[in-house]
Amino acid sequence: MAFTVTLYQFQKRKNSTLQPTALQGVELNCELKQPTSYKNPVFTFFVEDAFPWNYLKWDNWYYFITDVVSVRNNIFEVHCKLDVLATYKTEIGATTAFVLYDTTANTEVTDARLSMKTTTTYSVSRAILDYSLSACLVLGIVGDDSSGMYAMSSYSANQLVNAASLDDFWQEIKTELPTPTAQDGGFSFSGIDDAVNDMFAFAIRAFQQLVATGRARDCIKSAVWLPVSESDFDGTNDTIWLGQLETNVSAKKVMLPALKTVTVSIPWQASDWRRKAPYHNVYLSLPAVGVVPLATNDLIDCTSLIVNCFLSTSGAVKYIVNRGGDEKPLGMFYGQVGGSYMIGSSNITPLTAASSLAGGISAAAAGAALGGLAGAAAAGAAGIAGLVSANTPMPASVGAGSGFTSGGWTVECMTAYHDTNVDPSSVAAAIGTPTMAVKTIGTLSGFVQTKEASVNASCYEDVRTEINSLMDGGFFYE
């Protein structure tokens, strides 16, 4: 049986749907060898000199030429194999299938076919919490007029301790003594009743102050050293009372924890699915906490972190870390920056001489009875002065640091990165990139690999099986 076919010198891949154009072909008459297979036919051609073609189209079927046999006198037997992908390209393009890989750009789905490098690269970004690079003390104080937590400098704390000493007490009491007259060097009173009333009022006042002074240090219930300034806390300046003793020392009464917020960028070293673990690992270094790992896979679409730091008067630190942008929480972390700070004095307290005070008052009364008003006043003053001179305690303030020793208030975000052996996009043309979605094949181009494809075509069953197998193994839709 004689008929016409089209012959081509044509370059194409075995697993490709590419079809030749009509302009590339040469039409020749031939005969179909009998018997033969339509899937693997043998054609007989009469061609002078040689047979240079490698591809053949018969009707709407496309064939690879697998062998050419020279029979005799320019007669050639041409052995062919059906190119199922080119022949059924239209049916393949209309097929909807689950696509494993294609050449569509991919930034989300991990390509497990690529190897991961063992080499680790690091990148760090930093931000500083806006706490003052200073230090202060926070004292827990109980007072008749005010109680609470007071933030102050160490100088103010020393003033507070000194205000509770007998030295300051004596200076205050001396201002209440009667003023001596210039004429006789003594004291001037209007009468004996006035003198006695004034002296006993003075003695009672002195005793009350002395008792308050002796108990004042007991009203300092806690003392914490913090690596921030008192200005970092919110509050109002109040005069401090130690029990019943007004110290005339002012400090900030703290009402709320000190809050600072900072945004730190995530130093990503890739812009696609390699932001996921195990390729990327994200770590956050927090002052007084240390280095903590974050859930890297929760951050792939995030560029920064928001760190909220709450510092309490006890030195406890709480960090709330949120994603930048949508501010979704990532975690809470706790630390301690406070150090102990001891405020103390010698083992002699003002109350140890309470009986001497009574003796001083008795002496004042005796002087009034025996030597007049001037003698009484002088004796009372001398008794108190002697008491203070003999038993004045030595105030002391000794500080101790905390574990917050270095680094300041710097927040660091670090990424540790293992790259793939090649850039993921570099393999797209040869083996595609992960898709893992249902698509229509005709909407794609280049490499495509399906899963459990089933082409709807009017063809032999073994041809359909071959098409499905080629699609699942990976082919080029061209």
pLDDT tens for 292-323 read 999 999 999 999 999 999 999 999 999 999 99
Crossing angle of helices 192-216 and 354-391, in 10° steps, is 70
Token duo for residue 428: 């797209």
Average pLDDT over residues 357-377: 41
Under a CB-based contact definition with an 8 Å cutoff, are residues 96 and 423 in contact? no
Give me the amino acid identity at 53: W
C-alpha–C-alpha distance, residues 171 and 163, integer Å: 11
pLDDT, residue 151, reads: 96
Under a CB-based contact definition with an 8 Å cutoff, are residues 435 and 301 in contact? no
Nearest one of 319, 317, 321 to 329, comparing CA atoms: 321
443 by DSSP, 3-state: which? helix
pLDDT, residue 23, reads: 81
Categorize the per-residue pLDDT at 131 as very low, low, confident or very high, splitting at 50, 70 and 90: very high
Under a CB-based contact definition with an 8 Å cutoff, are residues 384 and 357 in contact? yes
Beta bridge partners of 285: 291, 412
Token duo for residue 146: 């005010």
Nearest one of 330, 317, 318, 324 to 283, comparing CA atoms: 330
Alpha carbons within 13 angstroms on the beta-carbon side of residue 150 total: 26
Categorize the per-residue pLDDT at 201 as very low, low, confident or very high, splitting at 50, 70 and 90: low
Q: Which residue did the predictor score with more confidence, 146 or 338?
A: 338
In angstroms, what CA-CA distances link 43 with 54, 375, 429? 13, 149, 36
Token duo for residue 315: 């030195």
Domain locations in the chain as residue ranges:
2-87, 92-114+422-477, 121-131+258-337+406-417, 136-256+341-399
Element holding 425 (H helix, E strand): none
pLDDT, residue 187, reads: 54
Average pLDDT over residues 468-475: 98
- Residue 286 main-chain phi, psi, to 5 deg: -120, 135
- Residue 348 main-chain phi, psi, to 5 deg: -100, 115
Token duo for residue 413: 């975000």
Does the pLDDT of residue 24 top 90, yes or no?
A: no
Q: Which residue did the predictor score with more confidence, 34 or 62?
A: 62
Global confidence as pTM: 0.71
Give residue-wise pLDDT tens across range 231-276. Answer: 999 999 999 998 888 888 999 999 899 999 999 999 999 999 999 9
Nearest one of 397, 406, 318, 404 to 137, comparing CA atoms: 397
Which range among 18-27, 172-181, 387-396 has the greatest average pLDDT? 18-27
Left (φ > 0), alpha (ψ -120 to 50) or beta: where does 201 sit? alpha
Q: Alpha-carbon Rg of the chain, whole angstroms? A: 49
147: how many CB neighbours lie within 10 A of its CB? 16
Average pLDDT over residues 169-174: 50
Under a CB-based contact definition with an 8 Å cutoff, are residues 321 and 284 in contact? yes
For the chain, what percent of residues have pLDDT higher than 70? 76
- 3-state DSSP: the chain helix, strand, coil percent, rounded to 5? 30, 35, 35
Alpha helix positions (H), 32-82: none
C-alpha–C-alpha distance, residues 101 and 155, integer Å: 72
Which range among 149-158, 191-200, 420-429 has the greatest average pLDDT? 420-429
233-271 burial, b at 16+ Cβ within 10 Å, e below that, comes to: bebeebebbbbbbbbebebbbbeebbebebebebbbbbe
Does the pLDDT of residue 345 top 50, yes or no?
A: no
pLDDT, residue 363, reads: 41
pLDDT, residue 163, reads: 77
